[in-house]
């Protein structure tokens, strides 16, 4: 009788943990993914969708200040010799 009771308790524990895992793990994974997405967006400097108006066009231009460094030297074309 003790063996059947032990097997029944083990089965109840196993199926109970399986049921709890089905409920808890998806919620934990969603929370983890949300945190990772936040970290990624913070690192990349992305703005949230609420900050950008729909239909708004943003143009980022590079600066036109080009500095030339003539002291680098002269370009020399060469050929390989075998």
Domains of the chain: which residue ranges?
A: 1-41
Segment 52-60 shows an average pLDDT of 73
At residue 49, does pLDDT exceed 70? no
Using DSSP, state whether 64 is helix, strand or coil: coil
Does 20 or 81 have the greater pLDDT score? 20
Average pLDDT over residues 29-57: 79
Of residues 40 and 10, more confidence is placed in: 10
- What pTM did the predictor assign? 0.40
Task: Please report the pLDDT score of residue 7 as a whole number.
Answer: 95
d(CA 14, CA 10): 6
């Amino acid at each position: 009788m003790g063996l059947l009771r032990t097997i029944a308790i083990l089965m109840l524990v196993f199926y109970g943990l399986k049921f709890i895992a089905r409920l808890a793990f998806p919620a934990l994974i969603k929370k983890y993914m949300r945190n990772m997405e936040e970290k990624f967006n913070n690192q990349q400097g992305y703005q949230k969708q609420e900050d950008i108006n729909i239909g708004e066009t943003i143009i980022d231009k590079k600066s036109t200040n080009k500095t030339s460094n003539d002291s680098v030297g002269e370009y020399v074309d060469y050929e390989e010799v075998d």
